[in-house]
Amino acid sequence: MALIAPSRRLRRTPFSDGVEAAGVKAYTVYNHMLLPTMFRSVEEDYRHLKEAVQVWDVACERQVELRGPDAGRLMQMLTPRDLRGMLPGQCYYVPIVDETGGMLNDPVAVKLTEDRWWISIADSDLLHWVKGIVYGFRLDVLVDEPDVSPLAVQGPKAEDLMAAVFGDAVRKIRFFRFGVFQFEGRDLVVARSGYSKQGGFEIYVEGGDIGMPLWNALMEAGQSMDVHAGCPNLIERIEGGLLSYGNDMTRDNTPHECGLGRFCNTATAIGCVGRDALLRVAKEGPVRQICALDIGGERVPGCDRLWPVMAGARQVGNVSSAAWSPDHDTNVAIGMVRMTHWDAGTELLVRCPDGDRPAVVRDGFWA
C-alpha cells in the first residue's frame, strides 16, 4: 500500500490533531478532506465499534447551507423525496438527482427552520450543482459551505457517553431528529444519526475552534466506557447495507437502482429537477438493483475497482464493496445485479482479482 501525500488541498479538519494523536493508520479523501479509515486494524475497529463507543471525525460530511425565502423550494428541486411533511428538527435521507435522474449525491438534509437547511453531503461537490441551479433560476437563497464539521459518536455505549457530556436530555432525541445542546456556551445541533447500525449521534460542530475541546471532553468522559477514536468501518457498513456514494453508486445510477425507491415520491415531488426522467422508472422499476451478496472462499482482497458478476459467460452485474466479516463468517458484499439474476438465492460467480468465486444473492443485508 502507498502513502497519502499531505497538502493543503486534502484539507485537515478541526479534529485532525486528535485523530493523529490517536494513531490513525490510513486515510481516504472525501470532499477534499481527510477521512480516517483505520486506527488499530479494520477488524479490531469493527469489534470495538460493536462493543463500546467510538468518536469519529466525519468533518468531511461538509454542509451545503441553504438560507433565504426560496430555500425550501430549492431543496425540493434537488430531490424526488416529497418534503412537504418535513418539520424543522427533522433529518431526511434524500437522494439528489440531476435532470436525467442520475444520482449526484445521497446526503442527509437537516431542516433547521423553514428558510434554513443544511445538506450534509456525501463525496461530490454538490455545492456546484446547487449554485448552478440557484443562478439559473435566480432563486432568492444564499448557498455556501459553512464552518460546520460533524463529529459522530457511534456504538452501543454512544448514548451514555453523549449523556455524560451533554446531559440526559440527549437520550430523548429520536432517530433522525435533532435537538440543540450547549457545549462551552455554544449552541450545537445534535442529531440521532450516523453511518453505522450500532446507534449513535452526530454533533454538527459549528466553529472549528471548539473541535478539539469537544473531542477531548468526549475522550475524557468516555474513559470508563473504553471510548476510542474510530471511523466509518468497511465491514460494519457493508453488513448494514449502508451505501457509499462513489463506491456503490454514481451518476450513472437512478435512486431506484440503488434500492432507494422508498425515499422517492416522484409523483408528488413537484419541482424536482429529475422528476420527468424518474416518473417512468418509478412506475416500471429499475432493470438492475443494489443487492447483498455472500462471496465464498477465504478472505477477499481489497475491493478497489468493480468486480464483474457473472452468470456463466455472461456479465450480469458488479460488486462494488466487499470485506471479510468475522461475525458472519463469510465475505459480505454490495453489488448491482440485473433483474434476471437478482432473486434471493441466485448462484453467481464473482470475478475477483485472485480468481472466480461462487456468490449467492441474499434477500437483504446482514444487520
Return all residues near 153 (Cβ < 8 A) that are at least 6 apart.
Answer: 53, 54, 55, 56, 161, 162, 194, 200, 201, 202, 203, 218
By the rule CB under 8 A, 329 interacts with a second copy: no
Residue 181: CB atoms within 10 Å? 19
By the rule CB under 8 A, 116 interacts with a second copy: no
- Candidates 22, 64, 83, 104; binder of a second copy (CB under 8 A) is 104
**What is the C-alpha separation between 295 and 177, in angstroms, rounded?**
36
Candidates 83-91, 178-186, 299-307, 355-363 — which segment interacts with a second copy by CB under 8 A?
299-307
Residue 103 is given by DSSP the state E
- Candidates 22, 49, 58, 133; binder of a second copy (CB under 8 A) is 133
- As measured in angstroms, the least distance from the Cβ of 139 to a second copy is 10
- As measured in angstroms, the least distance from the Cβ of 217 to a second copy is 24
Find, among 350, 219, 282, 308, the residue nearest to 81 by Cα. 282
Q: Note whether 148 and 58 are within 8 A (CB).
A: no
Residue 283: CB atoms within 10 Å? 9
Find, among 249, 83, 240, the residue nearest to 154 by Cα. 240
- As measured in angstroms, the least distance from the Cβ of 47 to a second copy is 18
Residue number with CB closer to a second copy (1 or 313): 1
By the rule CB under 8 A, 25 interacts with a second copy: yes
- As measured in angstroms, the least distance from the Cβ of 303 to a second copy is 7
According to DSSP, the β-strands at 26-30 and 33-38 are: antiparallel
Candidates 126-134, 264-272, 284-292, 308-316 — which segment interacts with a second copy by CB under 8 A?
126-134
Residue number with CB closer to a second copy (303 or 316): 303
Query: What is the helix (H) or strand (E) element at residue 28, kind and residue range?
Result: strand 26-30
- Candidates 44, 51, 135, 220; binder of a second copy (CB under 8 A) is 135
Residue number with CB closer to a second copy (244 or 325): 244
Candidates 106-114, 194-202, 241-249, 335-343 — which segment interacts with a second copy by CB under 8 A?
241-249
Residue number with CB closer to a second copy (192 or 244): 244
By the rule CB under 8 A, 354 interacts with a second copy: no
Residue 355: CB atoms within 10 Å? 9
Return all residues near 70 (Cβ < 8 A) that are at least 6 apart.
Answer: 139, 140, 141
By the rule CB under 8 A, 303 interacts with a second copy: yes
By the rule CB under 8 A, 331 interacts with a second copy: no
By the rule CB under 8 A, 212 interacts with a second copy: no
Residue number with CB closer to a second copy (6 or 285): 6
- Candidates 166, 204, 245, 366; binder of a second copy (CB under 8 A) is 245
Q: How would you label 74-96 residue by residue, b for 16+ Cβ within 10 Å and e otherwise?
A: bbbbbbbbbbeebeebbbbbbbb
- Candidates 187, 284, 298, 304; binder of a second copy (CB under 8 A) is 304
189-193, Cβ contacts within 8 angstroms, sequence gap of 24 or more: 189/110, 189/112, 189/118, 190/162, 190/166, 191/91, 191/110, 193/91, 193/108
Q: Note whether 190 and 205 are within 8 A (CB).
A: no
Candidates 123-131, 185-193, 259-267, 339-347 — which segment interacts with a second copy by CB under 8 A?
123-131
Q: Residue 72 is placed in which grid cell?
A: 425550501
- As measured in angstroms, the least distance from the Cβ of 163 to a second copy is 32
Binding site for a second copy (CB under 8 A): 1-10, 12, 24-29, 32, 37-38, 98-99, 104, 123-133, 135-137, 244-247, 273, 302-306, 320-321
